[in-house]
Amino acid sequence: MDSKYPQIELHSRKSLRKSLKQADPVILDECLKFLMDHPRTMGSGYIREMIWRYIPRYPLTETQLSTLQTIALQYLERPMSREFKWMCLTMARIANEQFWVKVKALLDSDTPITQINAFCLYAYSEGVLAGERQRLKLKKEKLPYRIQIWSEFWSSSFPDEEILYRIILNREHWYDGRPIYKPAFDESDLPIIHYHRKYMPLEIKLATLDISQCRKQEMINSLSKILDMGWHGPSSEVWIYITYLFDRINHPEAVNILADFLEKQIDWKYESPTKWNIYRAALNVFYHYQTPKAMQAIKNRPELEEILKEGVVEGYGWLLKKIP
């Protein structure tokens, strides 16, 4: 946690929850600052969720209410995070009429993210029950949509990794309808992290495929559809497998797709091992191609440059290979 939040740092997650439940005035201003700054550090999403959940217990001044309304409007400009629901519930209880007028105006925004977020939040202008009815309705409608997309090629009853492999082997992705395999592969070039030289059978399958001999445009189109599903799609391991394939496919469009994926789905997420692994995989791809777009993607992300400074992490496999 950043040192500019000393009161929050003094608390464990349990004690912070207790203080918020008791409406401890000592931490209120710092909590508002934390929401305003929106730091992306490990566990910051859980803290923001707690703050939004219990902030209605405080007797807020007009200035504090105005600050919260400003923060809530900022949420409409970025992808939904875990605390979005509690932000909506809180604003349903404390927001004034002027706030809902501003939210309504954003329903016609030219930015899809803002338009969708505003639609979800505006339902709470009629109260908590109305907002929750719409949230649960949308949640119910979203699941079949996710399954429909993910099972466009295969049955959703398979594990995510197996679905990916079946998509890769699709006849449309290979000349003569048959995948091409390498006669041998280097064990150190397997896709994912291996601390004890243990690896999954799928990784051997991917390493033995000569993906550079596929119908590149068709393969890239299919893989990019999976990435477009983001956090409502397959597991993060599948994202890394796809990044590995982008490294092997030798097609410059892979850089553009990967940079766009990071911007839409990864950059705004708080720090975590999952985010680090995806950044590390992306760094391998960008350095493999070294196009202007690839080098700019690294320059735009200080986290990638930090990974470069760290050097090679103790491990085994493509994800942790040495970068020149």
pLDDT of residue 1: 44
Please report whether residue 166 resides in a domain: yes
Residues 66 and 206 in one domain: no
- pTM (two decimals): 0.60
Domain termination residue (choose one: 145, 169, 196): 145
Structure tokens given for 107: 């329903």
- Number of domains within the chain: 2
- A 10 A CB-CB count for 22 gives 10
Confidence category of residue 5, pLDDT binned at 50, 70, 90: confident
User: Is residue 159 predicted with pLDDT exceeding 70?
Assistant: no
pLDDT band for 276, please (50, 70, 90 cuts).
confident
Q: What value does the mean pLDDT take over residues 226-244?
A: 81
Neighbours of 157 (CB within 10 A): 9
Count of other CB atoms within 10 angstroms of residue 121: 26
Show the domain range for 129: 6-145
Are 184 and 100 contained in the same domain?
no
> Is there a single domain that holds both residue 64 and residue 120?
yes
Please say which residue of 90, 118, 145 terminates a domain: 145
- Tell me what the mean pLDDT of segment 161-190 comes to: 82
Percent of the chain with pLDDT over 90: 42
Instruction: Find the range with the poorest average confidence among 7-11, 130-134, 138-142, 255-259.
Output: 138-142
Q: Are 92 and 122 within 8 A, CB to CB?
A: no
Q: Give the best-scoring range by mean pLDDT among 147-151, 202-206, 208-212, 254-258.
A: 254-258
The pLDDT value given to residue 196: 46
Q: Does one domain contain both 164 and 313?
A: yes
Q: Is residue 179 part of a domain?
A: yes
**Domain check: are 181 and 291 in the same one?**
yes
**Do residue 164 and residue 128 come from a single domain?**
no
Q: Does residue 1 fall inside a structural domain?
A: no
Asked if 252 and 126 sit in the same domain, the reply is no
79, 49 contact by CB (below 8 A): no
- pLDDT 10s digits, 246-265: 999 989 899 999 999 998 88
Indicate whether 131 and 69 sit together in one domain. Answer: yes
**Which among 85, 111, 145 is the end of a domain?**
145
